Structures are given as structure tokens and as C-alpha cells.
Structure 1
């Protein structure tokens, strides 16, 4: 009965039924699965632990346990659980797929590829698995193979939206591999035209248009969609956002209409509405949207960033309580990792490694990079000695700095007492002349960073009066149309590490130099 209720989306009824059922291995597995759907990781883990006590050889329970552990950030423990599931049943393809995805998160790219290939060999040749393989091939520096596979995937599965998104990203970033005159969104557009009733396809294509700054086309597409579905609040929201970017009248009314349906359940919408409110000078509305978003998700980094800007515009001292530009921005030099004569030797070796990973010709879609490139996938975890040394040294520096901060249970950053951390994402950025990072925040982190590997001579020249190439804090994104100067400027130097809360607005000042500006960035969460 619980399975029947679950298939019909009645998750709470299914969970209530299982709570009153006798504790068997099967019942506990089902309870764990329901908790996973609610993203109740601790409860899911407890249920799978009980199931494994009753049936320690259950492949499904070990697989579920891995999902629960991954949800809490215990990635190595999750990998051990997946390995146990595979030991019990080497032909259980879902465990191979999940282990491939987990190893990719950990940066172990070649073993991840082997896991996905094993799943395919076992008959799990789904479009999702194929798309994951193409992502791993890109991580491995094989973009031509990734692109060839992505083209073949949408030929075989033209309705598979993630496949179209992956192909568009590859064509956008690796322009040299496009056919003459090929539009990176051409195949995506053709698929959307052929499937006017495929809502996920339509929405994904519109978002791709906006990410590539084709807002006029996105707006025209949305007008057509709204004629077919005039009461769809998501279409109202996306149309309002496109109109807002182009400075068209009517965006406020559409945002208000969408707010009646989405304002109590979507933090993404509330953040978009807050951005519109800033652009149109309605600061109280921006503050209200930010506060509503934080009631839904108290750890939402963008909402905290918006609330801090609203406080700043109102002259509210809580801006400085939240951002505390002097204390919550670190600017420190890392220790030289073991095995290197000095920091300069380490940075030289690190630069050589990073240069081999910057293969794209264009900036990534929907990111802060302007006139530069960003490495794909996860930088750390790869089988590379210099990257392992960098990860260890950077993590140690972050933990040392955190140990000196006070605890404040009311503060979104300082309320976390855990001083051991895990790196949840890492990448390298190489900016070219006139390149910069547009002002932004990091939604996936709790703490974020910038580590300087190599800088143009004009940026690191001593006693220079210019701020070119510097890291700036406190100036919100350009799209908010707020004339606010930065609150703090950090002058970069090779071997130095900047650390700051992920909700802190930050970006870089453009520079004019033939040599690139090479950095590593990573997001951090407290260790579980």
C-alpha cells in the first residue's frame, strides 16, 4: 500500500502508513526512500541503518544509505556504501551510475568514467548516463569526444532536455569545434520549435537564450508560449524578467501576478523579484522578497546578499553586522606545501598544471567570467600531485582562519561553529586582457575564495595607484542598477588567498595587460 501511495505522489500518507507498520527490513528501506524524497537526510540514514541491521546484505539499502550520506556531505562514506552495494551485486547498474556521479563530485574523473562505462555495459544505457559520460569526457580534456557524443545523444533522444543543454554549453565554450556558421543554440532551437507542447524543453531553451544574452529572442519566444498558456505563473515570471532586462514597461505587473502564485514557495522567484525591485527603486519590496526567501530557506546566499544591500540603502547598521568587511574577509598567504623549495616553485608548478586544463575558447554560459575561461568539472580530487598539494594547503589555511573567528548564533556565517571544512566545488579561472568577474555571490557555498596563482605584471606591481585586476567587495551586480561603490578593495598577490562568506558581493576590476590573471576559486561547507 505504501508503494502505491508513493507512486501517486502521496508521500506524506505513505510515510504515515510506514510509521505504523512493523519494523521489517523492507519497511525501513521504504521509509528511508521517502525521507530521501523529502531530503530529510538524517532520518533517511537512520531508516537505512535499521534496515541494514535486519538485512545487512540488502543492495537497495546500501544504495539508499549512500544517497543519505551524500545528502549530508559525507561523500567518502557514501562512496564506501556504494562500493559495498557493488560487492554484494556487481551487476546492480544503479550503484555503478551513482558511484560514477559521486566520484565525479570528488574530482576522481577517470574512475568516474569507468563506473559509467560499466553501467552501460550492464545495459543501463540511458540518456542520463550518456550525458554524464560526456561531462566526464569534458572534465578529462577530451571536448571533441564529448561534443561528438552530445550530438549523437540528441539524435537518439531528441526529447532529452539535459542533452540539448549540454550540447549548447559545449558549442558555446568550444567555439573552434563548431561547424562554419553554426549557432550554439541551433539544435536546441530546432528541438523546441518541433515540440511546442514540451514545457520543460521550452523553459530550458528560454533560459539558454537569456544566459547567452539573447533576451529579445527569449521575450519573443515567451510571448508565443504565453498565448498558449496565459495563466502560467512561471511564464509570467520569465517574461517579466526578460522585459526587465530590456527596460520594457509592464514587468512590474507581471512580477506581481507571478508573486501571487510563487511568492510563498519559490526562493528562486523571490530572488528574481528582489532584483527587479532594486532595478525599479522599490527598496522595501526588495527587502520583503529577501526576507520571504530566507523564511523558506534560511541559508539562501543570494537572499542574504539582497537583504544586506537593502539594509545598506536604508542606512541600516545591520549591513555591517552581516558583511563586516574588515573581519569577514581574509587576505592571507598560504604555507608552502611539502615537497617544494618555496612558494614561488609551488606556484610555478601549479600554473603549468592549470594551463593544461584551460582548453575552452569562450567564457562559460551563465557565469561571472567575462573575457576568460573556466575549467570544467571539479578541479580538486584529480590524480595530480600539485593539485592535491594545493587542495591540502588551501583547506588548512581556511580552517586556520576560521578557528580565529567568534561564534554568533544569530549570524548566517558565524553561527556555524564547525571549523573543519569540506570543499564542495573548485575551479580555475584565467582572465585575459580587459577580463573581469562580474559582481556576484556563490549560492552553493557557505564560504568562498580566490587564490592567486599568477598575475599580470601591471596587477602585482608594487605601490601601484591603480585598482586594475583587484578583488572588490560590497558592490552588487550590475543588473541591479544601483550606483554603489565597493566597500573594500583587496590587492591580489601571487600565493595569497582571499576568503569570505559566500553571500558577500564580490567581483574584479578589469585590467589591461597581455599576460593572463590565473586563479583558483572554491566553495566551502562545514564538514559533517
Structure 2
């Protein structure tokens, strides 16, 4: 490597450089790092020494020091293709790791710099697109993902997953017709790809009434599965989708055929048990759940939660408690496991239910402060409501959500460019952090033990319920702190008749499908500009309302910042 500002390594140093590279490639990070540190001291003006140090520090997981070393190397040889590419590769790997850790706000600039330094890294463009989508920056996500597809195609590589993701981002961007056309084209070219069929099914489920009237959302999925009986992934995906949309009678024959081909497969037995359970064929379901419980899948939290749900339906509360206890032992932040454990404790008369849920203390209800630039809360809500209304493009509720009789926005709400939405993001974060600051930490508690001074959004959306609409009782499995912010409400909710609870939010009544006769522990009357906050494992839903005016809210999940 040569450049006017960079010192060349002498022959002895060059030998040590090659030795360190060989050690690094063999996984011997510590001795490689020792050599690199010595070279950087001996030749502080040598770009090769600092580049080597950056690679060795990365191998030793000292990422910030590695970044500084690469920066120093690049300063010595500005524009060097070799240093730029190696630094870009480091930043791409670092950004990917940050993304996997949920540190999206740190991942985005790292990945953006990576593709600026090494613009031919398709995987870095793909990761950048994924991070931007998770941050709600849909236009930037589309641009990055399309660049990744172009690079993959130039190399003759398949890009089905990326193209499928692009269709999802188009839906996020409020372009469902383009998303649907893209999804149809993708399954036509790749009929064996299960995720593409899932995306098409979801788009038709939410937008089919307007864009494909009369078409069953799962017709193409069924046809593909029928034509490919040996495509296990496709068959399983269709079966799970059918269970999600509450068509167990259709899912069960499909699963039974698969079980005949692969007898004793615990995954197939589990799905068949779910279908039988939904059909109230409890004896057969119990046998299959018990069989799966003895397999390697028996310790998986998702299975344990399914088994717990079945145990509640069949009134075996001790079994439900046992399954839930195992789920939270395996995964201490498993929100569904905690919801089941709290329900079991309630049914068993165990006081730990009150320790876990404490509906008076752990359900917060606060009025937000008007965001900067708005004279009053009413002025803010008057701008926010139409901005949200414009995002409700679907004809019905999403496939896998709690909404009944309404619509939910696609993708992440926060991160969009709409000024009132950006203002809401800031105001709601501030309100949540202020409320959290009033709680005392408890190292043994699954919610209070993770309390931090600052939090990050893990999901955000808006829901618009029409008359008779409601939220079925549910929890938020991907959250830690969850919420409901009231933007506009019908008169029947704002000024209810005496004794009416129409449109109120309720806490503590379990999922209706569990068949448990348990009333809510607390009900709260919504008010515009007010925010309800609660642990994500807490059962919550809404009472239906009868009014021609819609009920418009924002909801979000949060996670504590490290």
C-alpha cells in the first residue's frame, strides 16, 4: 500500500504483519492483536499497521477501538480502495450485530457508512434496508433494498427474500396496490417460496376487498401447496396461516397427511394438537400435547405456551402453571409465559398474581404534555388525527392482531416523516419515561427489574375502530412496556351514558379463547390526549362501542435501553 501520507512498513515489520494476518485467519486473536499493537506503536504513520490493528481489535470484540483504528488508517490513505473496503466490511458486520441486538439507532449510521465505503456489499445494503424499515424510514429502506437486489442480480444470485421484503415495505409505505402486484409476480416466479405466499396472503387479507374483490386471500397459497405436496416448508406455512385465521377444520387434514408421511414428527404433532384444540377435540389434543412435551420441543417456550393455553381450556390449572413456569425459566422475558403464569396464580388463589400485575401501580394513566410547536394539546390532536387517518388504507384488520372491526396501520408508525407523527413520537417517549421514573425497581420482578431511565420503541402503530369494534383481550409478546394513546374518541366513549363502559380499556381479563370466566381487574375510561401504560404481559382489551364516530389510537411497545 502506498500513499503520500502513509509510511511503508520495513521488511521486518512486513514479516510481522504477515504473521499477524496468519494468526488472525487461524482464530488466534490474542497473539495477532499483540503484534498489531506493537506495529502501530513502531510505525504510527503506517496505514497498514492501523488497518491490521482494526481487524485484530474487531476479532477481539473491541468494536469502538477497531473503528478508531480504521479511521486512522483511512486518514493516512484517503480514498484507498483496500482500506475503504476492509473498513466497510468491519462496519457492515458491526452494524449487523447491532441490528441483531436491537440497537437500531446505532446500526443505521454504521451500515450507511459501510455502503458509502464499500458500495458493492449487497448484504450491507440489505441490512441497511432492514434497519431503516424497523426505524420506520420506508423510503430509505426501499432504496437500500433495491440496491441490494441490483447487486445480487449482477452476480447472478437469487434475491427472493429481499424482493419479498420490498413488497412488505411497499405496503408499509401506503402503496398496497404495488405491493400486491409485486407479491403476485414473486409467487408466480417462485411458487415454492413460502414467505412470498405468506406476504401475498396477508396483503389480500387486509386489502383484498378493495384490490381483489371476491378473491379468497389464501387461494394462491392453497393451489401452490396442492401442487407441491413434498414441499414441507410450504405445507407447514399454509397450516399455520390457516390456524391463524381460525380455520382449524381446513388445517387439520393438511397436517394429518403430513403426519402420515412423517409419523412421530413432534412439530407436526404440535400443530395438529393446536388444530384439534381449536376444534374442541380436547382428548386427542391432550394426547398429542403430552407426546410433544416428552420430545426436544417440549422445552421450547412457544410450545409451552401453546400447551398452557390448552391446559386452561381443559381446566387443568396446575398443568398450565407448570408450563408457564417452565417457559419463563427458559426465557425470563417471555411475555406470554408471564401472562399465563399470572392467570394460573389468579385461578389458584395465589397472591403472587397481585405481585406480578398490581393493576393499581403498574397501569399508568397520564395526560401527555403538548409537543413543542403546538399551542395546546387540542391543537396537537387536531393535526395528528387526520395524519393518522390518511395511513389507514386497509379494508379490514390484520391477520395476526387483536383488532376486531377496524384497521391497523402497516409497518412502523414512528420514524415516518409526517410532522405530527414525529411530534407524537417525542411526546409519548417523554411521557413514558416520566411515568417509569415514578416506579421503584424490584430485582425479582419481570417488569420492574428491567426499569431504566431511558427506553426505545420496539413497535408502533395506529388503530382505527369503527362501531362495534374492539380489541380482543391480548398481550404484546415483543414488548416490555406497552401502551394506548387516545387521539380521537366517539361521543359514546367521551361522554358515556350512566353505567356504560363502551370503548373503555380493560385489564386482567384473559384471552377469550381460553374459555375462563374471569372478569377484568381494572377498567379505564379513555380521554383524548391521555396515555395508558402497562407491562406487555398484562392482559388487556377493549369494550365494544356503538357509535358512527371512530375510535382512533396510537399504540407502541418499548424496551429498556441497555
CA contact 2:183–2:199 (8 Å) conserved in 1: yes
- Match runs of 1:86-105 below 5 Å: 86-105=115-134
Residue by residue, what CA displacement relative to the aligned partner does 1:255-286 show, whole Å, maximum 9, x if unpaired?
Answer: 00011114553110000000000110111110
- 1:380 corresponds, among 414, 437, 445, to 414
CA contact 1:171–1:177 (8 Å) conserved in 2: no
Cα RMSD (Å): 2.2
Query: SS where residue 429 of structure 1 aligns?
Result: strand
Residue by residue, what CA displacement relative to the aligned partner does 1:377-397 show, whole Å, maximum 9, x if unpaired?
Answer: 000011111001000000000
The reply on whether 1:313 has 2:347 as its aligned counterpart is yes
CA contact 1:302–1:503 (8 Å) conserved in 2: yes
- Tell me the residue number matched to 1:250: 284
Instruction: Give the 3 Å change call, closer, same or farther, for CA 333–179 of structure 1 in structure 2.
Output: closer
Instruction: Give the 3 Å change call, closer, same or farther, for CA 293–304 of structure 1 in structure 2.
Output: same
Residue by residue, what CA displacement relative to the aligned partner does 1:141-160 show, whole Å, maximum 9, x if unpaired?
Answer: 11000000000001111111
The reply on whether 1:339 has 2:373 as its aligned counterpart is yes
- 1:213 corresponds, among 218, 229, 246, to 246
- Which residues of structure 2 form unaligned runs of 5+? 1-23, 34-50, 72-82
- Tell me the residue number matched to 2:190: 157
Highest relative contact order (Cα 8 Å, sep 6+), 1 or 2? 1
Instruction: Give the 3 Å change call, closer, same or farther, for CA 161–47 of structure 1 in structure 2.
Output: farther
- Tell me the residue number matched to 1:7: none
Most deviating of 273-282 and 130-139 = 130-139
- Tell me the residue number matched to 1:196: 229
Deviation at 1:203, TM superposition (A): 0.9
CA contact 1:236–1:258 (8 Å) conserved in 2: yes
- Match runs of 1:463-478 below 5 Å: 464-478=498-512
- Tell me the residue number matched to 2:136: 107
The reply on whether 1:123 has 2:123 as its aligned counterpart is no
Query: SS where residue 434 of structure 2 aligns?
Result: helix
- 2:181 corresponds, among 134, 138, 148, to 148
Instruction: Give the 3 Å change call, closer, same or farther, for CA 471–185 of structure 1 in structure 2.
Output: same
TM-score (norm 2): 0.85
- Tell me the residue number matched to 2:112: 83
Residue by residue, what CA displacement relative to the aligned partner does 1:128-147 show, whole Å, maximum 9, x if unpaired?
Answer: 11111111111111100000
- Match runs of 1:453-472 below 5 Å: 453-461=487-495, 464-472=498-506
Deviation at 1:22, TM superposition (A): 4.5
Q: Distance in 1 between matches of 2:28 and 2:287?
A: 46
Query: SS where residue 377 of structure 1 aligns?
Result: coil
The reply on whether 1:170 has 2:203 as its aligned counterpart is yes
Q: Distance in 1 between matches of 2:325 and 2:543?
A: 30
- Tell me the residue number matched to 1:46: 61
CA contact 1:131–1:163 (8 Å) conserved in 2: yes
- 1:368 corresponds, among 395, 398, 402, to 402
Most deviating of 456-465 and 407-416 = 456-465
- Tell me the residue number matched to 2:294: 260
CA radius of gyration, larger in: 2
Deviation at 1:31, TM superposition (A): 11
Query: SS where residue 306 of structure 1 aligns?
Result: helix
Instruction: Give the 3 Å change call, closer, same or farther, for CA 441–27 of structure 1 in structure 2.
Output: farther
CA contact 1:45–1:68 (8 Å) conserved in 2: no
- Which residues of structure 1 form unaligned runs of 5+? 1-14, 33-43
Deviation at 1:178, TM superposition (A): 4.7
- Tell me the residue number matched to 2:259: 226
Query: SS where residue 216 of structure 2 aligns?
Result: coil
